[in-house]
Structure formats: structure tokens, C-alpha cells
Structure 1
Amino acid sequence: MDHLVGTQAPERRTTDPAEALGHLERAVPGLAALRFPEPRAIDWQRVEAGLGTALPADYRLLCERYPPFVLGDFLGVGGLSPGNEDAWVQGRYELLETVEEWCAEADLEVPLHAYPVPGGLLPWAVSSQGDFLLWTTDPAEPREWTVTVASRSSAWWHYTGGAVQFLADLVGGAVEPWALPRVRPVVEEW
């Protein structure tokens, strides 16, 4: 039986994408070594047209500045690169099928749904164990989206900050990794 573990909130929500990225670089010292000298030109219009929504600016900046990477030999982040926009969007839709199944099977007091249902969950990272990190796409403004964790162990929980801040807080220890292992501040290109 699935259960909602709870909600965690950052001490202060970081809304500036560059500030959130700096926070992540401090939490994961090796990340800066992977940073591209110049931001990559990802076709965001193509991505957003394919998804039917814009994406949060912190995640966009993360994809422009870094190659796809793995945190702590556990969590795969990114994957969106110039030239693979269509494949990345298609990959989200394939993941959404699993997310919808998990949502349908979850016995939660407040039902969750996969995107594109208004407020639905949209995957942005996956663990090596099959856990999902998802955006809760409500309210409609992507800069206000929060994070929902769906663990393979049937525990669901929320974080009221953005994706990049979540990563920094998870690795830095400001967030309890409910139903996930501790994620070490070790990074490697994916």
C-alpha cells in the first residue's frame, strides 16, 4: 500500500535560477568541473511545444550549463541536450505511462495524476532504483512548481521548492531523504 510520508519545505525558496545552481555547486563540489564554458543552445521552443508546457528556469539553466550527470551513483539528472530535444520529450511521455500507473495504484488520501492533467506530475529525474523525481505542475507558472518524490518502496512525499534547490538540499542534508538512500555529493557525467 502506498502512503504519503509528508511534505518538506526549504528554509527559503530560491527563485533565482543562477542562485539555485550556485547552491547545487556548493553542495556538489565536483559539479563545477563539468560545467560548459558557455551555455548550450537547447531548442526550448521545440521542447515546450512537444510537452505542451514551459519548464522551470532553474532546470533549463541546469541543462544548458551541464551535461547529463549522476549524483551519488544513484540519481540521473538532465539528459536534455542540443539535438536530442524530440527524443527527450518522447522519453518523458514514456515515463509518464509508468507515472500514471503508479498514481492509479497509489492509495493516497488525495489522489495524484500524471501530466498533462492540470497539476499532474511530470518526471525530471530518475534513480538507478526506479524512483521518480517529479514536478507537480500546479500552479500553472513553472517557476512555482514543486517537487514530488515517488519512491520504488511506495512512499510519496513533497518538497515545496524547485528542482535544482531540491537536489542541493538533498545532497547537502537539508532535506531528509524519506524512502531514498542518502545521496553522496559525488558526481559523474552520465
Structure 2
Amino acid sequence: MDDELVSTQTPRRRVTDPEEALALLERAVPGLTDLRRPVRAVIDWDGFEQGLGTGLPSDFKHLAEWYPVFDIGGFLVIRLPEPGEEGRTLKATRDCLAVLADAWLEPGLGLLAHPAPGGLLPWGESCDGDQFMWSATGLTPQDWVVTVASRGGAWWHYGGGVVQFLADYCTETLEPWGLPPIDLAVPPS
């Protein structure tokens, strides 16, 4: 299987404004705003991105500045750098990249791990071991799409950013190929 054979879901409209995307997510997840920081966090993005060897999408950075690490429905954990803990998050991301390269990516799959051009860069995981990543393709990180690898073997792309993906997943606007529906009765932690 190669990347052209991995199916893609495309939102009706790609939300590119980070504030609009975050508002969609906050409307989609009851109780999420209870976790919102009272003031925007200062995160060492220069150091974090330099350590990754790439910039990151603005919607993800905006989410991390307003929210600590959280999960949705006791299922999907979003890895966000915390102020002063950027090095720890960077190490965890590198560890996930190593596991991704060793255990998930099969020869001939057509998808490679970051830092390969267009490589996959993890940003979340489920309690069932599903992986949520960016495909670092396009001219800028704003062009990246979400790639999902379910433990059941389904690989697919979502043609939008992380925050819009989360909102669409929670509102069942997208088809959760290989993933269970999110139980929004479980409050974010």
C-alpha cells in the first residue's frame, strides 16, 4: 500500500484560523472550556520546533497556549507542550517517532516518519493504541493534514488541521474509519 492508496476525508471547508478552529472544538466538547487557562501560556516554540527540526501548525500552537494536556472522552490524548516542560514533550515525541518507525511503518507502506520529507509526526494517541499524526506535506505546516493509524489497521488522512479534526471527530462530522465514536459523556481530564 502506498500513500496514494490511503483514503482521505476532506472537510467541506478547511478552517485555517486558529481561533475559529478552537471555538469549533470548544463547542464540540462539553466541559472543555473548564480546562482553559485563564491567560495564554508562554511556550518556547522556537526551542521546541528547533528540536523537532520543523515548525508546527498554528492551530496546534494556539491550542497548546490555551490548554494543558487533556484527553477527549477518556479515549484520545492530545500531546501538548507545557510551559517549562518543552524538553520533556520533545523527548516523548522523539520516542513516539522511534516506535512509529519501528513498529507501525511497514516497508512498502509509502509513509515515512519525520524527518523524512512529508514524514509523519505524532501529536496524539488513544488509550487503544491508535496513533494520530501530521503528514508534513505542503509548503508550510499550515498545509499539513492529519493522518490516523488505527490499531485495527486502517490508515487514513483528514484534509484539515488537528483542532478541526478533533471538533469534526467529536461531532461525528467525519467518518471515524477504524475508530470508535468519542464518548463525550466522559469529561476531559
- State whether TM-score is above 0.5: yes
Q: CA deviation at 1:33?
A: 1.2
Distance (whole Å) between structure 2 residues aligned to residue 106 and residue 151 of structure 1:
18
Count of residues in Structure 1 that have an aligned counterpart in Structure 2: 187
Structure 1 position 61 matched with structure 2 position 56: no
Could you say which residue in structure 2 is the equivalent of 1:127?
A: 126
Structure 2 segments unaligned to the other structure (5+ residues): none
Secondary structure, counterpart of 2:77 in structure 1:
strand
Contact 1:147–1:161 (CA under 8 A) maintained in structure 2? yes
Which one-letter code corresponds to 1:20 in the other structure?
A
Distance (whole Å) between structure 1 residues aligned to residue 27 and residue 81 of structure 2:
23
Q: CA deviation at 1:99?
A: 1.3
1:41-90 Cα offsets, whole Å, 9 max, x none, are 11101101100111111000111101111101100013310011011111
1:18-54 Cα offsets, whole Å, 9 max, x none, are 0000000010121111111111011101101100111
Distance (whole Å) between structure 2 residues aligned to residue 94 and residue 78 of structure 1:
13
Could you say which residue in structure 1 is the equivalent of 2:175?
A: 176
1:144-177 Cα offsets, whole Å, 9 max, x none, are 1100001111110010000000000000010111
Q: CA deviation at 1:5?
A: 5.8
Greater alpha carbon shift after TM alignment, 39-48 vs 78-87: 78-87
Relative to the length of structure 1, the TM-score reads: 0.92
Could you say which residue in structure 1 is the equivalent of 2:85?
A: 84
Matches within 5 A, 1:146-165: 146-165=145-164
Q: CA deviation at 1:106?
A: 6.1
Q: CA-atom RMSD, angstroms?
A: 1.8
